[in-house]
């Protein structure tokens, strides 16, 4: 829970040109300090998360990926995806290589591309995977052509087959528009594609099967990969912003909602998220549950994984260690039961240096 606290803030200094403190501050003379009192919305957001019970889940194991990926000591940066079979796909940005591991961290294969991969500023969003083992990795932005053709400005992806062989470069285009967010169904036969106007279900050749109106803020196009997820049966969950009717018609408030669609593209349900948030959460979806990466303390920035059922009821939350930053979360159904996988960057000290290792921790879902 947020508490009122004192922060040293340069901008809170009293000066002749700015005799008043910022409205959220109370200045204390020459010390230039600022007494910060959390807003009502921040307090409500933290309280909503805290009302969902915290559970200590059974840990099934973990795989640590240090700065060197697998056996390739040239790779110093990576992205991650997990397919429905539990295989871990990682990108070696510095060597333009895909590495695939089993759930114990044992390397299965690598695939090297002649095309440069994408910028590491999107460390968990650049990959698409299927249960067959196909992998798509975003090209480096500088390799894109057609700077004056808006249809060519969208992402292009290097496609790897199940054994790591490069199969070519692909771009998702439909009706002359670039679709920035797209997700293959697990078997790879169909694809969900999303922009700020609609959601489409198309086949692997781009033939339209279903079109669903889905109005969304255009500014969110670049994060839609992070706020959508596909279940093993091919159904889709998407988070978006929806306007609520306010007291004044010209100043409506907004809320985040989750929409769920069947594998055939039919709308199933839509409900407000079971917590308050000022930002869009990263999500995972297995058909029965949604997992959200949320902040459980707006002041410290500590994170938690919050899990709901497919109707929006908050079930439990899993607090995240203070030294970890969650990049991605996954929900898997395995022969031994349902599992929650968390990929986090953990701050560690090695040989006198502070570094961040990537760690995938596997938990058993409560029965």
Averaging pLDDT over each range in 124-133, 192-201, 327-336, which range is the top one?
A: 327-336
pLDDT at position 338, please?
95
In the predicted model, what is the mean pLDDT of residues 187-207? 84
- pLDDT tens column, 7-27: 344 444 444 344 444 444 555
Write out the two tokens for 65.
Answer: 């990926």
* Residue 358, SS3 per DSSP: strand
Place of tokens 């970890």: 324
Question: Residue 100, class by beta-carbon neighbours within 10 Å (0-12 exposed, 13-18 middle, 19+ buried)?
Answer: buried
pLDDT at position 346, please?
77
Averaging pLDDT over each range in 41-45, 169-173, 348-352, which range is the top one?
A: 169-173
Chain-wide mean pLDDT for the chain?
A: 75
Q: Looking at the domain assignment, is residue 282 inside a domain?
A: no
CA dist list (Å): 146 to 42, 142, 154: 44, 11, 10
Structural domain for 29, as ranges = 1-37
Cβ partners under 8 Å of residue 4, min gap 6: 35, 36, 37, 38
CA–CA separation, 294 and 305 (whole Å): 6
**365: which DSSP letter?**
P
pLDDT at position 111, please?
83
Cβ atoms of residues 79 and 119 within 8 Å: no
CA dist list (Å): 367 to 110, 315, 328: 36, 11, 23
pLDDT level of residue 6 (50, 70, 90 thresholds): very low
226 closest CA partner among 291, 296, 310, 177 = 291
* Residue 12, SS3 per DSSP: helix
- pLDDT tens column, 273-321: 988 776 788 899 999 999 999 876 656 667 889 999 999 999 999 988 8
Question: Residue 21, class by beta-carbon neighbours within 10 Å (0-12 exposed, 13-18 middle, 19+ buried)?
Answer: middle
- pLDDT tens column, 115-147: 777 655 445 557 889 988 898 887 765 444 443
Cβ partners under 8 Å of residue 218, min gap 6: 196
**Residue 80 clears pLDDT 80, i.e. is over it:** yes
Q: Looking at the domain assignment, is residue 303 inside a domain?
A: no
**Number of domains the chain contains:** 1
Beta-carbon-side half-sphere exposure of residue 154 (alpha carbons within 13 Å)? 20
Q: Looking at the domain assignment, is residue 17 inside a domain?
A: yes
Q: Looking at the domain assignment, is residue 28 inside a domain?
A: yes
Q: Looking at the domain assignment, is residue 94 inside a domain?
A: no
More confident residue, 215 or 121: 215
pLDDT at position 2, please?
39
**Residue 174 clears pLDDT 60, i.e. is over it:** yes
**Residue 74 clears pLDDT 60, i.e. is over it:** no
Q: Looking at the domain assignment, is residue 87 inside a domain?
A: no
pLDDT at position 99, please?
85
More confident residue, 102 or 254: 102
pLDDT at position 77, please?
52
The C-alpha angle 323, 85, 184, rounded to 5 degrees, equals: 90
Beta pairing partners, 136 = 128, 159
Q: Looking at the domain assignment, is residue 57 inside a domain?
A: no
Q: Looking at the domain assignment, is residue 267 inside a domain?
A: no
pTM of the model: 0.79
């Amino acid at each position: 829970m947020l508490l009122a606290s004192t922060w040293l803030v340069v901008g809170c200094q009293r000066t002749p040109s700015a005799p008043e403190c910022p409205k959220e501050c109370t200045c204390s003379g020459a010390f230039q300090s600022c007494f910060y009192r959390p807003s009502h919305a921040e307090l409500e957001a933290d309280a909503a998360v805290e009302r969902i019970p915290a559970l200590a889940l059974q840990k099934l194991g973990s795989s640590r990926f240090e700065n060197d990926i697998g056996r390739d000591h040239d790779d110093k940066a990576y992205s991650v995806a997990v397919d429905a079979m539990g295989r871990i796909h990682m990108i070696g940005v510095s060597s333009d290589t895909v590495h695939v591991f089993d759930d114990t961290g044992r390397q299965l294969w690598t695939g090297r591309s002649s095309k440069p991969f994408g910028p590491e500023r999107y460390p968990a969003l650049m990959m698409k995977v299927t249960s067959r083992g196909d992998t798509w990795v975003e090209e480096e932005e500088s390799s894109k052509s057609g700077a004056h053709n808006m249809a060519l400005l969208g992402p292009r992806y290097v496609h790897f087959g199940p054994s790591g062989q490069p199969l070519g470069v692909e771009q998702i285009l439909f009706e002359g528009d670039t679709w920035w967010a797209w997700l293959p169904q697990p078997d790879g036969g169909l694809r969900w594609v999303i922009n700020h106007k609609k959601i489409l279900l198309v086949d692997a050749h781009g033939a339209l099967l279903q079109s669903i109106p889905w109005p969304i803020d255009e500014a969110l196009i670049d994060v839609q990969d992070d706020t959508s997820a596909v279940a093993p049966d091919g159904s889709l969950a998407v988070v978006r912003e929806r306007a609520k009717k306010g007291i004044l018609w010209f100043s409506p408030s907004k809320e985040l909602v989750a929409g769920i669609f069947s594998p055939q593209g039919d709308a199933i349900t839509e409900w407000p998220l079971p917590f308050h948030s000022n930002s869009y959460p990263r999500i995972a979806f297995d058909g029965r549950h949604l997992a959200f990466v949320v902040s459980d303390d707006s002041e410290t920035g500590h994170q938690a994984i919050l899990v709901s059922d497919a109707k929006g009821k908050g079930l439990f939350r899993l607090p995240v260690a203070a030294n970890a930053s969650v990049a991605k979360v996954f929900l898997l159904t395995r022969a031994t039961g349902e599992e929650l996988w968390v990929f986090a960057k953990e701050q560690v000290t090695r040989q006198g240096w502070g570094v961040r290792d990537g760690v995938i921790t596997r938990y058993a879902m409560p029965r």
